[in-house]
Structure 1
Amino acid sequence: MSAPVGPEPTVVTCHNCHKRVTTSVDYAASTKTHLLALLLCIFGLCPCACCLYCTSCARNVEHRCPACKAFLGTYER
């Protein structure tokens, strides 16, 4: 079960260790990120496609508990 999370670190109760924590976030490329990068490359905008992987604007946000590292949820862009 995943917690309702947003694009920023969120205060939640971890379902694994039952502590009240502020989530740690990691950014992960999704299928949408890869498809958008492919489209940009097809239209000759390869430098822009590379930027998708360097910034957080086109990647999903994965939330984890900083205490026990349990996965808490994903915010999809």
Structure 2
Amino acid sequence: MSQPGYPHQNAPPPYGMHPPPPQQPTVVIVGGGAGLGSASTTIQCPSCHATVKTRVEREATTRTHLIALVMCLFVCWPCCLFPYCIDSCKGANHYCPSCGAYVGAYAN
């Protein structure tokens, strides 16, 4: 039995009282800027808050396609596939290995 003046468990909060706002995740910035490079980086994950070494996945970017196009037009058309095989010509997407959350990207 509830005491007088106290709201029931399932009742909304009294007028003027609001529940506390949800806490926002803390993002740790490593070094200058985002701190993400082309290689795996040790960071604190903004989602699970674990200190991890990021998992890097390479992806062709607009720059990769432009390099391939220039090589195809001016250099040698069989060589136009090299930018798709070289990691330094691609962008690096960083993910948390613990929870799989996207952390950030690095583009040359």
TM-score, normalising length from structure 1? 0.89
* Aligned counterparts, 1:49-64, within 5 A: 49-64=80-95
**Runs of 5+ consecutive residues of structure 2 not aligned to the other structure:** 1-26
**Post-superposition, which runs of at least 4 consecutive aligned residues in structure 1 deviate over 4 A?**
none
Higher-Rg structure is 2
Select the structure that is richer in helix: 1
Deviates more, 1:36-45 or 1:52-61: 36-45
Select the structure that is richer in strand: 1
The question of whether the paired residues in 2 share the 8 Å contact of 1:16 and 1:70 is answered with yes
**Runs of 5+ consecutive residues of structure 1 not aligned to the other structure:** none
**Residue-pair matches, total:** 77
Deviations 1:20-58 (A, max 9, x none): 100000111101110111111111422322111112020
Q: 1:62, CA displacement in angstroms?
A: 0.8
**What is the CA–CA distance in structure 2 between the aligned matches of 1:25 and 1:12, rounded to whole Å?**
13
Q: Which residue of 2 aligns with 1:27?
A: 58
The question of whether the paired residues in 2 share the 8 Å contact of 1:13 and 1:19 is answered with yes
TM-score, normalising length from structure 2? 0.65
Of 93, 97, 100, the match for 1:66 = 97
Cα RMSD, aligned residues only: 1.7
Higher RCO (CA < 8 A, seq sep 6+): 1
